[in-house]
Amino acid sequence: MQTIQINGTARKDFGKKFAKAARREGQVPCIIYGGGEEIAFTIDAKELGQLIYTPNSYIIELNIDGKVEKAVMREVQFHPVREQVLHVDFYRVQEGKPVAVNVPVRLTGNAEGVKIGGKLALSARKLTVKGLVEFIPDEIVVDVTPLKVGQTIFVGDLQHENLTFVTPATTAVCAVRVTRASRAAQ
């Protein structure tokens, strides 16, 4: 899994008043928890953009006033009207303990159903997997070559070494939909 480095500044003041003041200065209030003490800090909103507005998942090396912490992004809170990040939760990665992460899905191959006029539809862009950090891939590759018109690949159909899927097994990953052209071809 890819690693990204972000700098943060520890904060000592808490509450709505101080959070609003930090946001006015272009900072985003954050917290890191799990496996030790909770640390409240702020990150520059521009630096956080490279982490949030991407389909990729990362292991984050947070440099908080010189102290480096490895973490994964757990939750992001957005303003309901503006597209402003209000708060970010990070979960500390511990050596030898599994962690749950959302991993992007990439489809490969040319489905049989698409060749006769069906339409390939990706239903799940990311899947939640659980495993040790060293075994989590950058993406989950799904081969769609054997799919015919009307067939679907579910999470339960996927297998990956050293990982367990947290996303329910009945969740559809992708499917070849029936179109007018595919009905005529059958």
Looking at residue 170, what is its pLDDT? 93
Q: Is the pLDDT of residue 30 over 80?
A: yes
142 and 73: one domain? Answer: no
Instruction: Determine the average pLDDT of the residues in 3-16.
Output: 84
Rounded to whole angstroms, the Cα distance separating 65 from 57 reads 24
21 and 90: one domain? Answer: yes
Looking at residue 27, what is its pLDDT? 87
User: For the chain, what is the domain count?
Assistant: 2
In this prediction, residue 67 has a pLDDT band, given cuts at 50, 70 and 90, of confident
90 and 107: one domain? Answer: no
Beta carbons within 8 Å of 134's beta carbon, 6+ residues apart: none
Looking at residue 52, what is its pLDDT? 84
Looking at residue 15, what is its pLDDT? 80
Domain residues for 15? 3-94
Selection from 37, 41, 38 nearest residue 18 by Cα: 41
Burial of 38 (0-12, 13-18, 19+ CB in 10 A): exposed
Task: Say if CB 158 and CB 174 are below 8 A apart.
Answer: no
